[in-house]
Amino acid sequence: MEIILTENINNLGQKDEIVEVADGYARNFLIPKNLALKATPGNVKQCKEKKKLIQQKREKGKFKALRVAEKLRGVRLVLEREMGEEGKLFGVVTSQDIVQEIKKRFSLEIDHRKVNLDEPIRVIGIKKVSLKLHLEVEIDLEVELKKCEKNTKRAKNG
């Protein structure tokens, strides 16, 4: 029997794939557990339309990611943080700090989960950070962490 999978199933296929299985397996297990649908002409047509829409959405997402990547290519973000007496940072720089700086400088909304930061930045200096904007679009940024001058901070706050 031909069926359309509604979930990814190991050793059988991926979601929205049309596969051939034994009649009993389809009727007694896959279909009752909503893991598959019968591959009727209507269901096949609906599945193909759904795949087409998903592909269009992916292409649109990739196009947006490429535009963002162009704006951010070769950018160095400079973040300032206060340091203690022994040269240690007060706090750390996280992926959220990085996306806030991108939003402030470029007016771009980026999800902080797209920032590949193994661990928070704890030291002064330059660190390369990658942004995975899409499955096929990834760029590198330089994040420079500088010591914040206390006098300039007070002047800004008033």
The three-point CA angle 54-59-65 to 5° equals 125
For each of the domains in the chain, give its residue range(s) and CATH number, in order of start.
Answer: 2-68 (3.40.5.10), 70-157 (3.10.430.100)
Cα–Cα distance, 108 to 115 (Å, whole number): 14
One digit per residue, the tens of pLDDT, for the chain of length 158 reads 999 999 999 999 999 999 999 999 999 999 999 999 999 999 999 999 998 999 999 999 999 999 999 999 988 999 988 887 776 787 888 999 999 999 999 999 999 999 998 888 888 889 999 999 999 999 999 999 888 876 544 444 44
pLDDT given for residue 133 in this prediction: 92
Q: How big is the chain by its Cα radius of gyration, in Å?
A: 25
pLDDT given for residue 148 in this prediction: 80
Residues 132, 114 contacting (CB under 8 angstroms): yes
